[in-house]
Amino acid sequence: MSNILVIKHGSLGDLIQANGAIKDIKEHYKNRKVFLLTSIPYAIFMSECPYIDGVIIDKRLPRWNLFFLYNLKKLLSKYNFSKVIDLQNSSRTKFYRKFILKDSEWFSSYETLEPGQSKKDFDNYPVLDRMELQLKKDNIPTKYIKNIDLSWASEHILPLIKKFTNRDYILVFPFCSKKNLNKKWPFFKELISQIRRVYKNRYSVLIAPGPSEIDEAKELNANVVLEKGESINIKQLISLIKDAKFVIANDTGPAHIASHLKKNGLVLFGSHTSARKVSIENQNFQAISVDQLSELSVEVVMNKITANLN
């Protein structure tokens, strides 16, 4: 029997948001195997996802690397993919469509466009709306696409948490990728100090940095959550967010996790995009949006926290 390939390379927030779509795809193709093509950082995490039957790693090397392209094509040809559902919808996957998996049936955002509609216009829709339209156009029912269930991705981490606090905690994510520094609010250190003054011994303030963020995290006045001196894994991160009393973050992967876990919290947006476009805001997890993050004061953020945190 032929197999189905879903492509979603990342980032972490993008993969979290795609979980509902992947579940809808698997529900629709119950009698066929569904594989995910993704990037190395997310392969182990997504290999435990119950909605897929296997993960294939794409190293995403330069497209002029003919040796890489040949090996990728050879690898994918072994799986007999009759259909590819492209949830990445990037220039790379468009290239793969033309040269790597050209004999498979493809369904991407290009098949979703209405007559006269450009992909640029389509890409301005909220991300979950785009995925929903894409699956519906492919006659795949969309029961879970906006009802993302991350219960499979959590684990018991109370012993880990107790190493850093015995109280309820506020979880702060003050970082972002180096290529997206415009997403970074510059006043988290001052905010953490203010939280500690206001809430004293009621809440601990925790930070869970990525591998390149550990040194910076140690400079902030908070408890840095690590496992044997290293960053916690994605399932531990999701579990840590799940148990938090409140979450404050830049527009990053952990913010998307908090949103889909319906956590009480705040995400801070500058002009790089909008909360609506990335489908992140809900009744519990709210956004503060400004033109320039450097002009967003600690006082404004702190007032929002005290208004929403019991």
> What tens digit of pLDDT does each residue of 81-111 get?
999 999 999 999 999 999 999 989 999 999 9
106: enclosing H helix or E strand: strand 105-107
Please tell me what DSSP assigns to residue 88: S
How are beta strands 54-57 and 34-38 bridged, if at all? parallel
DSSP 3-state of 64 = coil
Q: What is the pLDDT of residue 272?
A: 86
Dist. CA 75–CA 68, nearest whole Å: 10
The string of pLDDT tens digits covering residues 150-172 is: 999 999 999 999 999 999 999 99
Residue 2 confidence (pLDDT) above 90: no
* pLDDT of residue 310 exceeding 80: no
State how beta strands 169-173 and 246-250 pair.
parallel
Task: Report d(CA 145, CA 132) in Å as an integer.
Answer: 7
User: pTM for the whole thing?
Assistant: 0.93
Predicted local distance difference test score (pLDDT) of residue 201:
85
* Cα three-residue angle 283-289-294, rounded to 5 degrees: 140
Domains, the chain, ordered by start? 3-149 (3.40.50.2000), 153-308 (3.40.50.2000)
Closest CA to 85 of 43, 48, 35, 149: 35
Rounded to 10 degrees, the C-alpha dihedral 247/252/256/259 comes to: 30
Whether the per-residue pLDDT at 1 is higher than 70: the answer is no
Spatial contact of 240 and 157, defined as CB atoms under 8 Å apart: yes
115-130 pLDDT, tens digit per residue, is: 999 999 999 999 999 9
| DSSP letter assigned to residue 32 | S
pLDDT at 179: 80
